Structure 1
Amino acid sequence: MTITVDARGLNCPTPVIKTKTAMEGAPGENIITIVNNEAAKENVRRLAENSGYQVAIHDKDGDYYLEISPCSCGDVKPAPENDAGNYVIYVPTDKMGQGSDELGRILIKGYFYALTEAKPYPKAILFLNSGVNLTTEGSVVLEHLKTLEAGGVEILSCGTCLDFFALKDKLSVGSVTNMYSIVEKMNQATKVIRI
């Protein structure tokens, strides 16, 4: 049986996530993922190879067909287990990276979508400074944060920051916290990831 994943025209990281979902839903089956840009092609290829599959790529009329099949090239070592979810994410801004604010907003949306699809989830996500904009009304990532919260992730926004931006009454996901609690969460975590 071959599963086809048509991911043409989909933004990063959706082609990777759709392919990963197909792999998990039918382990050991052949998969054909179709994408129409170089970045998606390389990202899906890396995912497949890192998951123990072999990949053959064919270019047809500007689309890339990635034929993904179980590897017969010996044992593939599973990725090492991490301290399942004993990490926190620190979000000090409502954009990702520096340079273009518009691109930064696109990237932050893609990041939180990808986070909903990756396991294990973090223990908590800590929003400070302009990062609190992401937990309030009108946020482009509100749906993703609610999914993470439903999955057991603590969504915590700095109360001082919400007050500073006059957003406390617009908080739409998670709860208000303080700097002492933020420090405690960071100290208790195996690792802290800043985005």
Structure 2
Amino acid sequence: MHLIVGLGNPGGKYAGNRHNVGFMALDAIAEDWRLGPWKSRFQGQTAEGVVETGQGPKKVLLLKPQTYYNEAGRSVAEAARFYKIDPADILVFHDELDLAPGKFRLKTGGGHAGNNGLRSTKAHIAGDFKRGRIGIGHPGDKNQVTNWVLGDFSKAEGEWLGPLLDAIARAFPLILEGNEDAFQTKVTHLAPAP
């Protein structure tokens, strides 16, 4: 089984925040691949199902931790332990300040770069997991970072956000096949950054 995590904060007031783009990616995947319904488990919201890939069907668990962003690792670890999922089969989608808006990069391992959701996940998962880094850009002043990530995407940002989330969902089977380069390339090709 593959564990696909989206980082974000629970509740309607955070739904459109840049910090919640990980939740948005999971919603796009769940809709595209008809996974679900969403259920409360593992201190989070989960949706599961099977995705057809070029290597046959792959079982998937989507997880949106409801612990708040900075404590996401508790939820991720609980789900991983329950299903005995190796870190190599965990992918965490999150917002990335160090990437330009609309850029997407897939990476395995690495530091948390000040991202508290990643810091928490790394503290609870022993081993390198994959990270789907969704660029939201930097506000230019470190004192404005909190307001930036907890601010909603603007209407103009929606012009690249929708196509990017759609591209992630459409390319999703490739990551389940372990074809990371093809996944990265297809997402970039389907949703060229602004």
TM over 0.5: no
Question: TM (normalized to structure 2)?
Answer: 0.29
Q: TM-score, normalized by length of structure 1?
A: 0.29
Higher relative contact order (CA 8 A, sep 6+): 2
Whose radius of gyration is greater, 1 or 2?
1
